Structure formats: structure tokens, C-alpha cells
Amino acid sequence: MSLEELNSRYNIFTRLVNIKKRDKGRLSNLKFSIKDIIDIKGVPTTAGSRILNDYIPDTNAYVVEKILEEGGEIIGKTNTHEFAMGATNTSSIFGPAKNPYDIERISGGSSGGAAVSVALGLVDVGVGTDTGGSVRIPAALCGVIGFKPSIGLIPTDGIIPFSWSIDTVGFIVKDMQTLNRVLEVTLTDKTVLVSQIRRRPRVGLFLFGDDEVSRALKPVVDTLNNYFDIKEIHNEILEKYSGDIRRKIVLPEAYSYHRKWFKERKDDYFPDVRRLLENGSKILGYEYVDALRSRHVLIREYMKIFSDVDVLISPTTKVVAPKISEVIGNELTFREKLVSNTEIFNVTGAPSISIPVAQLNGLPVGLMVSGELYQDGTVLDIAKRILDIVGFISK
């Protein structure tokens, strides 16, 4: 199939382009897709929304400029859940991005098009954003690697915000070597990539339960027991409060950005995004401030864990990709199912990566490796070790 035919079938790209600034550089010979909330000079940014029907940026986002400076080639902007405010990628003016394993199923979101572009081999790197799991969730559902660095390591200049406090640029790839090449260029602090882990790392088993994905990952965990010292980790504070605190931060911040449009063009938003913005408008100032303060408590609780382990492993999601027909009209219900594991590592700002290590009923399952803040290298090192042990499970 041609690129155009694949795009028509899977709803991957919002616009195809061919942009390359130079032939030589650390990212030469790599093709990139860019999530359509990230600005490329002279190319419309739509955010998958009716709201932005005439926005053409006159500068590149920081991450785009870095890619082009180092010889990367950009071939398109990718489909996203409207304003990156969903985990299913079904609310987009371009239609749902479709799963490469089964076009009747969702890609996951909000960086769905980015994950599909990588899974189908159209690009080497999909550039996305992750505020509640928006890189790791589609990576898990589409059978590729999705990495969210520690917060603040990549400037978000030139990116339409969901949450100024929590938004993080992330990358979707098929191999760790490519990911490391991109991080060496885009991270403002390369020292976080240093890894100093013991020969037999200590791994915490976190957020495993009775869900179908946890059961599918049990054989993987059994195998890893031969290579790592594994112990179960539970933290009631993180598990009980992270979701509520994250929502009380991100939703009022989202409403703050959208409030003018929302007052004038409320009905132009997709219903699920409109509901989230309405919820954000109702969160009171003291609730927002309390959530910001509580976030520091969560971070302290999170950091305590790493006196006993080097990383945590968790199911990326509790479900495999559901059918599009089941999701449309029920986006918020599926959103909660999809972000319940990933969002903890957003509110704490921690580095977190999803790797494809298993399948369930022919659909990919992601294992998430997460670590101490600004110990990104340790997370990447152990993720690579796991892939070397169990293999990259791909289509």
C-alpha cells in the first residue's frame, strides 16, 4: 500500500509533508511524525478540533527545531484526540486513528496517530505528548515502545498545552537505540541518561491486579524472576489519590487555556472534551492550590519507594484495545480504564516507558517500566534488558 492508501485506511496523518533542513546530523536517516498539537512552521496545527480551523504557526516548536537541526526528516502531522484531552483518539475531526492489529479497534491516545505511524513502519519516531499516559497508552495498544521522560527535560515551547504543570514531550519508536539517539538531541540535561544499576537489579511489582492484562503479563514476570530481584510494592496514598489530584491540576489548567473559545464556541468541542472542560471550570481556586500542594506529598511518597527497588514494573493499561464502536459515546468511561495505571507517573513527573512484551487474544500488551525522577537512564537500561530477555513482541 502507498502512504496515501495507508493513511486513508488507518487515519494516521492530519497532513502529509516533506520537511528536511539538512542532510547531516545526529538524526540523519531518521523519519519523524509530529503530533498535531506540536507546531511546525507554515503547517496548520489543528489539534484534531473544529476550533483551530485557521491556525498556521510561524515558528517551529522546540522539539521540531531540534529534530530538523540534526538532520531529521518530518513526513507528517499525526492524528490526535481533540486537544490531546483523551485516551482513545476517537474524538478527532479526522476520525479515529485505527489500530494496526485490527482497524475496528482504537489506537489509544491521545498520540494515536503517532503510534500507528511507527507500528506500520512509516516513520522511525513518532513525537507525541504525555499528560496522563498519551504516549505510553497508544504505544501499548499498538505494540510499540513509548517513553515519557522525567518532567521538564524537554521544553514544551510551541506545543498547545493541556496542562502547563504536567505536559511532557515523549517519543514512540520500535527500538531502544533509535530512542537513545533522539534523547541525546532533545533532552536539555543529558546527565539523566547515565545508568548505574547493579548486576541483578531490584524490581518492584506495582499495580498488578486481577485484570486481563496483569494475567497476560504473569508469564513475563515469572521469566524476569530469573534475572531480577522482584518484590511486590503497594502504596495506598499513590494508588488512591494520584488520579484525583492530577485531575484537579490538569482540568482547571486546560479550562484556563480554552475559556475564551469555550464561552464562544462551546458546542464546537467533542462531547467528552466539552465535559472535561466543564469539569475544569467548576474546580475552585483553593481546590487547585490544594492539589498542587498535595502533589508534593505524592512525589515524596513515590521517591521513598526507591530505597527498596531500582525501578517499578506495571501493566501499562488494564485492557487491550477496545473496539471503536464500543468507545464512541463512552470515551470518558474508557479514558478512566486506560489512564488508571499511567497517570501516577505523570502527577509524580517520573520517567516511564511502555514496552511490548506479550499479546492477549492477538492484541499487544504493554509492560511499563518506571523509575525515580531524573533517573531516566536506569529506566531505559532496565527496559532494554527486559526486551533482550523476553523479546520485542510485534505484529
Catalytic residues: 35, 110, 134
Q: Name which of 318, 347, 136 is nearest 235 in CA terms.
A: 347
Q: Which of 156, 207, 223, 205 is nearest to 393 (CA)?
A: 223
CA pair distance 125, 7, nearest whole angstrom? 17
Based on the number of CB atoms within 10 Å of its own CB, is 362 exposed (0-12), middle (13-18) or buried (19 or more)? exposed
Report how far residue 393's alpha carbon sits from residue 267's, in angstroms, rounded to the nearest whole number: 42
From residue 178, how far is each of 22, 90, 364, 365 by CA, in Å?
19, 29, 21, 21
CA nearest to 316, candidates 393, 241, 248 = 393
**What are the E-state strand segments in the chain?**
13-20, 31-35, 73-78, 98-99, 102-106, 125-129, 145-148, 169-173, 202-205, 229-232, 311-315, 352-360, 363-371
Task: Give the 3-state secondary structure of residue 191.
Answer: helix
Residue type, 305: I
Amino acid at 24: K
Q: Which residues of 54-70 are buried (b: 16+ CB within 10 A; e: fewer)?
A: eeebeebbbbbbbbbeb
Q: Radius of gyration of the chain from Cα atoms?
A: 19
The three three-digit cell numbers of residue 16, written as one number? 502529509
CA-closest candidate to residue 171, choices 30, 374, 28:
30
